[in-house]
Amino acid sequence: MSIEQLRQLAEIFVNVAREEDALLSTLCNKGIFYMPEIAYAYACGKAVIQRCRALDYQEIIWRRELQVSEAGPTDLVLEFPGRRVLVEFKMVGTMAKYLADFRKLANSAGPNDEAIFCVLLDEFTHKLPDQRIQIIEAESSHRLESLLDETPHFSTHPSRNNKSAMSCSIAAWSVSGEARY
């Protein structure tokens, strides 16, 4: 797949986050972080299939929670003729959990795989700027290419009983299996 096609997938993931946030706000006065990560992966897979079918591209298989290596299940796997795209999502978590999911993805990708790491960051507006994106990029021993021209963000409802203003920022990278060092 070309980097442009991977960018299109990342844009679909952003659109799904915004749409789900708006829907949850209307339905139950909650935001995107009320949605479980696996439900977000499912919604993203469904949106990719819908987009491919709208473009009359039928040869795609969509799988979720697929075991592609000993590292553990991958959140979303999109199978195109001769190529797979492995996608790992991370929503809300400690820096250690973000990095663990990133490493799992990087170690799972084979030679005919593309890998996308997509994070939805819960940012409290009084604690900006958030450094997690820079930490992920700095900690990676793999080549990363940002798939989004800028970091999309939007206001969302706080999770749980937190009353602080909150926003969601989204970052997505193409992860190369090649070490950069």
Q: What is the pLDDT of residue 68?
A: 82
pTM of the model: 0.88
The C-alpha angle 19, 24, 25, rounded to 5 degrees, equals 100
Q: For the segment 40-49, what is each residue's pLDDT rounded down to a tens digit? A: 999 999 999 9
Domain ranges of the chain: 3-179
164 or 17: which carries more pLDDT confidence? 17
| Cβ(29)–Cβ(63) below 8 Å | no
Q: Is the pLDDT of residue 129 over 70?
A: no
Q: For the segment 58-75, what is each residue's pLDDT rounded down to a tens digit? A: 678 888 888 887 878 899
Give the whole-angstrom CA distance, residue 122 versus residue 94: 11
- Taking the CA atoms of 74, 53, 39 and 166 in sequence, report the sign of the dihedral they define: positive
| Cβ(133)–Cβ(171) below 8 Å | yes
Say how many C-beta atoms besides its own lie within 10 A of residue 4's C-beta. Answer: 8
| Cβ(152)–Cβ(15) below 8 Å | no
Q: Is the pLDDT of residue 148 over 80?
A: yes
Residue 180 pLDDT class (50, 70, 90 cuts): very low
